Amino acid sequence: MLNITLICVGKIKEKFYCGAIDEYKKRLSRFCKLNIIQVKDEPNEDGQQKIVLNKEAEKIAAKIPKGAYIISLCVEGKQLSSEQLSEKIESLSVTGESHIVFIIGGSLGLDDSIKSISDLKLSFSKMTFPHQLMRVILLEQIYRAFTISAGITYHK
């Protein structure tokens, strides 16, 4: 079974996000082994953005499993359709990748050091989304990708 890990900066406090995340974790359990790792976000003081990004990057890098295929979410990344994401995940599992890691940065995004080690930089839109909501969107798209591959009628 494919291992999928989400490494996310910051903790989700809102119950409605937590409920949606729990629902997709349950749905995904039939397709993959899912692990969500939260790393503590750094306080963002004026003029300290680079330091904050660097500290968060160190925490993220420490959690990336060796040999994993790394997908970082960033605005300058490549945009894929749901079908293309499904094909990507399926092709990775077929070619022997056993672990895919998706990385979601905090309110400042991701440090270049994380982007540079990524196998794929992925963008969901040119728009900016709250990083808490992005977790839900990403989980839904991963679930949709698996249902597309499995021929399940969830995807329209």
Model confidence pLDDT, tens digit, residues 42-59: 988 888 899 999 999 999
State the pLDDT at residue 94: 87
Annotated binding-site residue? 121: no
Under DSSP, the state recorded for 56 is: H
Q: Is 1 annotated as a binding residue?
A: no
Asked whether 103 and 70 are in contact (CB, 8 A), the reply is yes
Query: Do the annotations mark residue 126 as ligand-binding?
Result: yes
All domains of the chain, ordered by start, with CATH?
2-150 (3.40.1280.10)
Would the annotation count 5 as a binding residue?
A: no
With a cut of 50, which residues of the chain have pLDDT below it?
none
* pTM recorded for the entire structure: 0.95
pLDDT at 156: 61
73 is in an annotated binding site: yes
The CB density around residue 55, as the number of other CB atoms within 10 Å, is 17
pLDDT at site 23: 98
Angle between helices 131-150 and 82-94 (to 10 degrees): 70
Q: Is 28 annotated as a binding residue?
A: no
Query: Hey, what long-range contacts does 147-153 have (CB within 8 A, 24 or more apart)?
Result: 148/82, 148/83, 148/86, 149/86, 149/89, 149/90, 150/31
